[in-house]
Structure 1
Amino acid sequence: MAVAWLDLHDSNLQLWHGDLHLSSPGYALLEAGQYCFGQNARAAARLRPRDISTRYWWQLNTAALQPALGPARHTADLVHAHLQALHRDAGAPDELLLAAPGSMRKEQVALLLGIIQQCPFAAVGLVNRSVALASLYADQERVFHLEVQLHQALLSEVRREGTEVTLQKVTALPGSGLLALQERVVEAAAGAFIRQTRFDPRRRAETEQQLYDALPGTLRALHETSETSLSVNGYHARLTRGDLQAAGNMLLDSVVGNLPDASTHGVLLDPVAALLPDVATRLRARVLQPGDMQRALALHEPQLLQRAEALVFVERLPAVAQDADHSPPRDVAEEQPMVATHLLCNAEARALTPDGTPLGAGWSLVVAADGGWRLRAGAGAGALARNTTPCRDGEPVANGDRLQLADGTEAQLIRVSD
């Protein structure tokens, strides 16, 4: 039977087994003496805060659980139960290949492997998740992977040494985790409701949960357009991209001071962080794709398997050739479209830049969440058409598209190969 792959990223644990893909955020809910994990637990986080735990992956240990949560003695019991639930939902694979964050200390890794020995499956490989991801993007001397966990962000430096990439340094960024960023966004959204409708969705648990449930869609909408509307309990409020600036600045402030000024590095950005205003452009970051971890584990699986020996936490991998076929085995990845690299205008090709490429008339091209490009309209932007169809702010554009300004200026997105 095929080895299953498990990504231990507490913001969203992911498991792949054959054609099955599971997502399970690191939330545990105590319900009628039993534990429920993942999406269902997260959906009850504001309704039943005393029955929820989100710290058990981050604080994996055997200290007495404070506050208590049902029969679990410590966070290790909750990790054990979460692993059991994932294993059951994935069809009970016999073997798991694990990707874990660099924030996991040696004693936590040892405890995790001890927990797995009490599970009905075997761990047959263990790799640093930042190294696995960076191996796909090792075209620079140094790469910094910004990982947004539930309770902290993590900045991992990975260096290319010859044909390999190696973990060099891991820096925790306290107070910049997904939950803290989420609170900033909720504060902005609740403020918009109060100003526009005099309704505060945070005053009741039910409406507060509705507001939290609406956040993912709201962030995605504001990444594509400058303003969106959200609804809670029959009330409607407008939210702008500028309203989220505080959350974006919060993350940027914690990251920028830990990055070198030299141009010999790149930044790999979690997709959720790229939804915050200006984060991707200010960091000149590449936004990781949803299938990147799956692709990395598929490519490196043969050398990561350690069935006949004690597991080693792998922190060095071969760099994947930039012109290689990145399609993993088992037909698990979809073909990716060719992304434009330049803007052709008046017989001159101008390179597209992550921090924004001006088009004229108040329009520019900026990086999209999927690593492609989208249109951004500034204040007082004029008319713009894409392939003769009028454009809107936030609209995605693709390689080959033609853009026409009202003054007759025309440009085309093209891809220039190295």
Structure 2
Amino acid sequence: MLSLELIDSGIVLAQRRAEAVSIVQEAPGMALLENERTLTGVEAASRVRLKPLLAQTNYWRALSTSPLPRPSRLAQTPADLAFAQAESMLRPHKDGEGILLAIPAGYSREQLGLLLGVINETGVQVAGLVDAALAACSLEPAPARVLHLELELHQALLTVLEYAGGDRPGLKRSRFEIALQHGLLALQQTWMHFIAEHFVRKTRFDPLHEAANEQRLLDLLPGWLETLEHEERVVLSMSHAERTFEVELEREQFIAAAERHYAELQKLVQGARVAGMPIELRVSQRVARMPGLLDRFRTLRDCEVQVLDRGAAALGALQHEAAVRRPADALALVYHLPVAAAATGEARPQAFEPTPPPLRPTHVLFQGRAWRITEEPLHIGWSVAPGLRALMLPTAAPGISRSHCKLLRLNGAVLIEDHSTYGSYVNDERVAGRTTLTVGDRLRLGAPGVTLELIQLVNDDGAPQD
């Protein structure tokens, strides 16, 4: 069985043979479009600054069938590039058992459908899909609430995960936040300009003046950052025209250069804090390699930081194959995994943070009519008790309980609380007890049941009609 972690800053392919699980390949989501061939992964990354007009670095996140701005004879769309890289990575490892995809938050429903088609076209059939942050944090017992931070090529992604008890205990994705223009490429570009300024100031050599030197600088940067993980300073050496140029820079200088990005990442983490609760922050190795960033997170009050293993999302998908695998005609992105609770997890009360106003539903829509969601619960079912605020459903609807569930606002969050026999489902994931809702969520009651949609109505000034 294969699993693919689709984080474009480092796409990881893992494989399980018998009881042995291993990472067999890792490559960045980069492509170089030449007329006679399409280079992807490490080979493309090694030339991305040599031929910048031919380079593409956002085709996984911008997955579509729209024309590329500079197409080639072999690749016309982002989907073509995704297929080229997927086929290159999977071709040597096809085992007939299919593949599990660990997908970061933020893909649209249309993109997920296109992604399935791209991977299936390689000859390896998709057997299941799971949220990447959830899979990455599923390899050990879960606290009541955990934050996962990842650096993609063009953005940072923070995912909030919560432990759910009840008759279906486990870890589930609650929400996510994206910080555009604060991904790995932006950090690298910041440091490259910072380094170039010091080379020019000390030696008058500008490593950004020629494409070959710029590519060399990009290739050397990861090694210099690795040195700064355990040293306070690093000597940077580059050769040009049979001369060698050197500058010595301190770790604190790299940290200061990245201040704008680090401040935004800290804001992302701090903004997800729930009052009165500690921060359990789990980060990828890409995040951990940024000089001084983990130390900055640890300055936050009650913040515990854990660095996850390389390819944690791919490995987590394989470990939870039974929960992720679905029939080909019933594939759905999994947001909940049966992860055990950490020692203190069950002792903590379940907390729900306020939902940001732009994401907080004000009404639930059913058959063209909108019902307001307030602090007074809205009971939904086909025979709700008299005296309760209710949305009555058709009595003939199969799988619907008399009092199936209720919706309410609590401390700035909109919640669903399930009371049914046949289940309530948010975006095809069954609700265990209570869970938060956001604008655009689809609420299915029963099986096959009925579907309602969470919407937000606004006033003339654009403010939600709370």
Indicate the TM-score class for this superposition, using the shorter chain for normalisation. 0.7 to 0.9
Whole-angstrom CA distance in 1 between matches of 2:193 and 2:216: 14
Which residue does 2:236 correspond to in 1?
230
SS at match of 2:24: strand
Which residue does 1:333 correspond to in 2?
none
Q: Does 1:182 align with 2:199?
A: no
Whole-angstrom CA distance in 1 between matches of 2:153 and 2:201: 30
Q: Which amino acid aligns with 1:237?
A: V
Q: Which amino acid aligns with 1:282?
A: R
Shift of 1:256: 3.0
Whole-angstrom CA distance in 2 between matches of 1:256 and 1:129: 21
Which residue does 1:318 correspond to in 2?
338
Shift of 1:246: 3.6
Which residue does 2:282 correspond to in 1?
268
Whole-angstrom CA distance in 2 between matches of 1:85 and 1:93: 17
Whole-angstrom CA distance in 1 between matches of 2:314 and 2:250: 34
Kept in 1: contact 2:35–2:74 (CA 8 A) = no
Residues 248-263 of structure 1 correspond to what in structure 2 (within 5 A)?
248-257=258-267, 258-260=271-273, 262=275, 263=277
Residues 1:116 and 1:215: Cα distance change in structure 2 (over 3 Å): same
Kept in 1: contact 2:157–2:177 (CA 8 A) = yes
Whole-angstrom CA distance in 2 between matches of 1:114 and 1:46: 31
Whole-angstrom CA distance in 2 between matches of 1:64 and 1:244: 38
For this pair of structures, how many residues does the alignment match?
321
Shift of 1:138: 5.0
In the TM superposition, what whole-angstrom CA distance separates every residue of 1:370-410 from its partner, at most 9, and x where no partner exists?
Answer: xxxxxxxxxxxxxxxxxxxxxxxxxxxxxxxxxxxxxxxxx
In the TM superposition, what whole-angstrom CA distance separates every residue of 1:272-325 from its partner, at most 9, and x where no partner exists?
Answer: 2222233212223212221533431232112212135421100101124658xx
Deviates further, 146-155 or 58-67: 58-67
Q: Does 1:161 align with 2:164?
A: yes
Whole-angstrom CA distance in 2 between matches of 1:89 and 1:251: 38
Shift of 1:105: 1.6
Residues 274-353 of structure 1 correspond to what in structure 2 (within 5 A)?
274-284=288-298, 285-307=305-327, 309-320=329-340
SS at match of 1:229: strand
RMSD, aligned CA: 2.0
Matched residues, percent identical?
32
Residues 1:291 and 1:113: Cα distance change in structure 2 (over 3 Å): closer
Shift of 1:247: 5.0
Which residue does 2:463 correspond to in 1?
none
Kept in 2: contact 1:9–1:100 (CA 8 A) = yes
Whole-angstrom CA distance in 1 between matches of 2:125 and 2:315: 22
Kept in 2: contact 1:157–1:168 (CA 8 A) = yes
Kept in 1: contact 2:143–2:342 (CA 8 A) = no
Q: Does 1:239 align with 2:246?
A: no
Deviates further, 127-136 or 277-286: 277-286
Residues 1:261 and 1:184: Cα distance change in structure 2 (over 3 Å): farther
Kept in 2: contact 1:130–1:156 (CA 8 A) = yes
Which residue of 44, 48, 56 corresponds with 1:53?
Answer: 56
Q: Does 1:191 align with 2:197?
A: yes
TM-score under structure 1 length normalisation: 0.72
Kept in 1: contact 2:6–2:103 (CA 8 A) = yes
Whole-angstrom CA distance in 2 between matches of 1:140 and 1:319: 10
Kept in 2: contact 1:4–1:93 (CA 8 A) = no
SS at match of 2:67: coil
Shift of 1:87: 1.4
Kept in 2: contact 1:165–1:319 (CA 8 A) = yes
- In our comparison, the structure showing a higher alpha carbon Rg is 2
Whole-angstrom CA distance in 2 between matches of 1:309 and 1:11: 31
Kept in 2: contact 1:140–1:265 (CA 8 A) = no
In the TM superposition, what whole-angstrom CA distance separates every residue of 1:39-81 from its partner, at most 9, and x where no partner exists?
Answer: 1100001111111111100101111211324432211111111
Shift of 1:224: 0.8
Kept in 2: contact 1:193–1:237 (CA 8 A) = yes
Residues 1:196 and 1:80: Cα distance change in structure 2 (over 3 Å): same
Q: Which amino acid aligns with 2:10?
A: N
Kept in 1: contact 2:153–2:184 (CA 8 A) = yes
Q: Which 5+ residue runs of structure 2 have no aligned equivalent?
A: 299-304, 344-466
Whole-angstrom CA distance in 2 between matches of 1:68 and 1:32: 9
Whole-angstrom CA distance in 2 between matches of 1:310 and 1:261: 35
Residues 1:200 and 1:133: Cα distance change in structure 2 (over 3 Å): same
Kept in 2: contact 1:140–1:264 (CA 8 A) = no
SS at match of 2:272: coil
Residues 86-165 of structure 1 correspond to what in structure 2 (within 5 A)?
86-91=89-94, 94-136=97-139, 138-162=141-165, 163-165=169-171
Shift of 1:150: 0.5
Whole-angstrom CA distance in 1 between matches of 2:96 and 2:261: 38
Kept in 2: contact 1:27–1:54 (CA 8 A) = yes
In the TM superposition, what whole-angstrom CA distance separates every residue of 1:120-140 from its partner, at most 9, and x where no partner exists?
Answer: 110001100101122235543
Whole-angstrom CA distance in 2 between matches of 1:122 and 1:158: 28
TM-score under structure 2 length normalisation: 0.65
Whole-angstrom CA distance in 1 between matches of 2:93 and 2:84: 14
Kept in 2: contact 1:158–1:166 (CA 8 A) = yes
SS at match of 2:264: helix
In the TM superposition, what whole-angstrom CA distance separates every residue of 1:174-200 from its partner, at most 9, and x where no partner exists?
Answer: 110110011111122112212222211
Q: Which 5+ residue runs of structure 1 have no aligned equivalent?
A: 324-418
Q: Which amino acid aligns with 1:23?
A: E
Whole-angstrom CA distance in 1 between matches of 2:153 and 2:135: 20
Which residue does 2:78 correspond to in 1?
75
Kept in 2: contact 1:37–1:82 (CA 8 A) = yes
Whole-angstrom CA distance in 1 between matches of 2:228 and 2:96: 39
Deviates further, 112-121 or 291-300: 291-300
Which residue does 1:6 correspond to in 2?
4
Kept in 2: contact 1:136–1:322 (CA 8 A) = no
Whole-angstrom CA distance in 1 between matches of 2:258 and 2:213: 25
